[in-house]
Amino acid sequence: MPKKQHNGSPAEVEAAFYDAMSRADVDALMALWADDEEIVCIQPNGLRLLGHRAIRESYEMLLEHGGVHIQPTQLHEMHNLMSAVHTVVEGTTVLRGDQGHLVATNVYLKTPKGWRIVAHHVSVAPGPTPSDTHSQVLH
Amino acid sequence: MPKKQHNGSPAEVEAAFYDAMSRADVDALMALWADDEEIVCIQPNGLRLLGHRAIRESYEMLLEHGGVHIQPTQLHEMHNLMSAVHTVVEGTTVLRGDQGHLVATNVYLKTPKGWRIVAHHVSVAPGPTPSDTHSQVLH
């Protein structure tokens, strides 16, 4: 049975993505990506993974011992009729205190099956998670 | 007089972007971004900059003492009629030897004025610049 989020908006796909990660559900996670071998994931360690197989295996390794809880906050978005670009600050218990925080860009394209992830780029940023978006803007 | 690259493809906009950076031409650089306050730039230090003013000021600081030479390689792209997502490995003399290399995601949307940058996310990756794309893919 198709999952509810498969016909959802980019925001719903994003919520389902972080939910699947928290449940270590790699099948649900991968179903949110476009059915396209050109999908790309840039990990916090800078490794660029291309295609379903490489991305799936990286999540299988990451989630081998259980879910990873990530709370996306401070969503900033741009979109047109066929694409959406989200940037979020990723609150996570994986990094603690002075280890920094994560910042992600998530790109969605509208496919024949609905909105799907085509790119996920995560960086490590120094310092604790900023309290709000404005603290990250120079002016 | 409108610049040639303003009606170019995403690849031409990308080439113009790195060219402007090498010439420290902030006006040319900023003209390649969408005329939209929602544009976003995530710097290698993890800072997320939103809007023209913050992004322009960061480039003014970066390029204050001259151009920064970046050679984008290993282009990987996805696109539909109205958007294009490029990831590239950024070869640069800013980082040396074991300081790592840079990986960028550049997102372009088709605007009434042509293809424009809407998001630029750069990460530092450890190790020297990989010699080709395949070295970055697990399989």
- Whole-complex ipTM: 0.88
| Residue B104's CATH number | 3.10.450.50
Burial class of residue A27 in the structure, from the number of CB atoms within 10 Å of its CB (0-12 exposed, 13-18 middle, 19+ buried): exposed
User: Using one digit for the tens of pLDDT, what is the confidence trace for A54-111?
Assistant: 999 999 999 999 999 998 999 999 999 999 999 999 987 666 656 778 999 999 999 9
Inter-chain residue contact A48 with B136, CB threshold 8 Å: yes
Q: How far apart are alpha carbons B50 and A74 in whole angstroms?
A: 12
Q: How far apart are alpha carbons B22 and B4 in whole angstroms?
A: 18
A96 CB-near residues (< 8 Å, 6+ apart): none
Domain hosting residue B94, numbered range: 4-136
Position B134 scores a pLDDT of: 45
Position B42 scores a pLDDT of: 97
Question: Given A76, A78, A124, which is nearest B46 (Cβ)?
Answer: A124
Position A96 scores a pLDDT of: 61
How many structural domains comprise chain B?
A: 1
Nearest residue of B to residue A111 by CA position? B80
> Higher confidence at residue A135 or residue B44?
B44
Inter-chain residue contact A46 with B78, CB threshold 8 Å: no
A41 CB-near residues (< 8 Å, 6+ apart): A48, A49, A54, A55, A58, A119, A120, A121
